Amino acid sequence: PHNPVIVSPDAGGVYRAKKFKEGLAYKYGWEDVGIAMIIKQRARAGSVDQMDLVGDVKDCDCIIVDDMIDTAGTLCKAADVLVDQGARRVFAFASHGLLSGPGNDRIANSSMEECVILNTIPSTPQRAANDKLVELSVAPLLAQTIFNIHAKRSISALFK
C-alpha cells in the first residue's frame, strides 16, 4: 500500500481501527500507518445527513475497518468521502458481511477497490459474482482455537 491510513467509519470504531493498525505493525512491520475517522451527522435515525473526515488521506491508500456491514450505505458513503478528500485508493475490511438488501450491489458499484469480509455468514451466488468482494475463511482460526483448548494452551495468544 501507498501511505496507508486506517479509517474508522464512526467514533465508536476508533479503538478497533487502532488495534488493526497495531496488528499491521506487529505482523508486517508497517510502522508508518496513519489513522483517520469519519464523523456522521444524523438527520434522523437510520439516515446520515453529513459525513466529515478527521485526518488526512490525500494521496493515501485507505482501509476502512468495521465490525459489520449491513446494507453498506454508510460504508460506501464513507468511501466516497475519502475519495473526495484525495484518497488514492479505498479498501474495506469487516468481520461480518451481512450485506442485506442492496448491500452487495452497493459494494459492487462503490468507489472501493476491494471489500474483505470473513465467512462468518453463509455466502450467496450474488456475493461470489461480486468482483470487489473477497471472503476470507475463519476455519484456520477456529481449528487452532479448538486445538489450543484441547491441548490446554492459550487462546488469547492467537489474537496477538
Among the options 40, 58, 77, 152, which is catalytic?
A: 40
Residue 71 is classified by DSSP as S
CA distance 103 to 112: 13
40 flagged as catalytic: yes
CA distance 6 to 9: 10
Contact 25, 33 (CB under 8 A): yes
CA distance 42 to 146: 43
Cite the active site residues.
Answer: 40
